[in-house]
Chain A
Amino acid sequence: GAVVSQHPSRVICKSGTSVKIECRSLDFQATTMFWYRQFPKQSLMLMATSNEGSKATYEQGVEKDKFLINHASLTLSTLTVTSAHPEDSSFYICSAPRTSGNEQFFGPGTRLTVL
C-alpha cells in the first residue's frame, strides 16, 4: 500500500535555530501534501497545504514566514521551522492524499523539542 515517510522522527534543537522536516510519498505521486500540528493530548490542526509547483496555502493564524513549506517534487514536501522557540515544540505530521478513494496517508510524525 501507499506509504508516507517523515524525517527526522525526532529532533531536539536550541531556541533560535531552524529545523527542516521532510515528508515523502514513497510509492505514489502527490501534487498536494498537508502539514498538521498536534500538541500533547490534543487533536491534529491543519497548518498548511503544500502544492507542488506553487506556493503553499496556510491556515488562518499560521505564520508563513515562520513555517516555510517547499514542495520540491511530486514526492517531497519540506517544512522548515525558522527561528524555533519552545512554544514551537510539538508533533508535526504530514499527509498525502491519493486521488482514488479520497484517502489520505499519514506520515509517522516528527517530534520537535525546542530547548
Chain B
Amino acid sequence: AQSVTQLGSHVSVSEGALVLLRCNYSSSVPPYLFWYVQYPNQGLQLLLKYTSAATLVKGINGFEAEFKKSETSFHLTKPSAHMSDAAEYFCAVSEGQAGTALIFGKGTTLSVSS
C-alpha cells in the first residue's frame, strides 16, 4: 500500500530564508509524486509533480523538489521564502496509473515571519 509521511507538521522560517519541507513515500511501484499548496478555505493548487522524467522538478512560485529513489524522498525547497508562501503544503503519491486517487500526507503548515 502507498503512504506518504511529511516530517514536521509546522515549519517556521524568516522571510528570505531557505524553505525545506520534507516528504517520504512508500510505494510498491514507481510512484507519481505531487506537492500541493492550500490557502485557508480554498482548494488545492498544484505546485509541481514528478512523473518519472527528470528527478529535479521545478514548479511554480520558485519551488522545486528532488526525487531520490534511494531515500524514498521528495522534499520541497525554495531558496528564499516570501510572506505569501505561508500556507499549508501537502505531499501526495499515486501509483502512476491515469485516474488513480491520490494519497496525501498530513500536511505541513509553513509560517513566514518578517
A and B from one complex: yes
With A43-B107, A102-B94: A111-B101 Cβ-Cβ less than 8 Å: no
Do the beta carbons of A99 and B99 come within 8 Å of each other? Answer: yes
Cα distance A13–B81 in the bound complex, in angstroms: 40
Chain A: CB-nearest residue to B36: A106
**5 residue pairs, one from A and one from B, having the closest CB atoms:** A108-B43, A99-B98, A106-B44, A43-B106, A43-B104
* B42 CB contact (under 8 Å) in A46, A95, A108: A108
- The total of interchain contacts (Cβ-Cβ below 8 angstroms) comes to 55
Q: Beta-carbon contacts of A41-81 to B below 8 Å, as 1s and 0s?
A: 01111100100000000000000000000000000000000
Do the beta carbons of A102 and B104 come within 8 Å of each other? Answer: no
A27 on interface, CB distance cutoff 8 Å: no
Do the beta carbons of B100 and A106 come within 8 Å of each other? Answer: no
Do the beta carbons of B101 and A93 come within 8 Å of each other? Answer: no
Cα distance A101–B97 in the bound complex, in angstroms: 10
With A42-B106, A43-B104, A109-B42: A97-B90 Cβ-Cβ less than 8 Å: no
Do the beta carbons of B104 and A44 come within 8 Å of each other? Answer: yes
List, in ascending order, chain B residues with CB within 8 A of A101's CB.
Answer: 49, 51
List 20 other contacts, CB 8 Å, given A32-B99, A44-B44, A101-B49: A34-B101, A43-B90, A43-B106, A44-B90, A44-B102, A46-B103, A49-B101, A95-B102, A97-B99, A99-B99, A100-B98, A102-B32, A102-B51, A102-B98, A103-B46, A106-B36, A106-B43, A108-B42, A109-B41, A109-B42
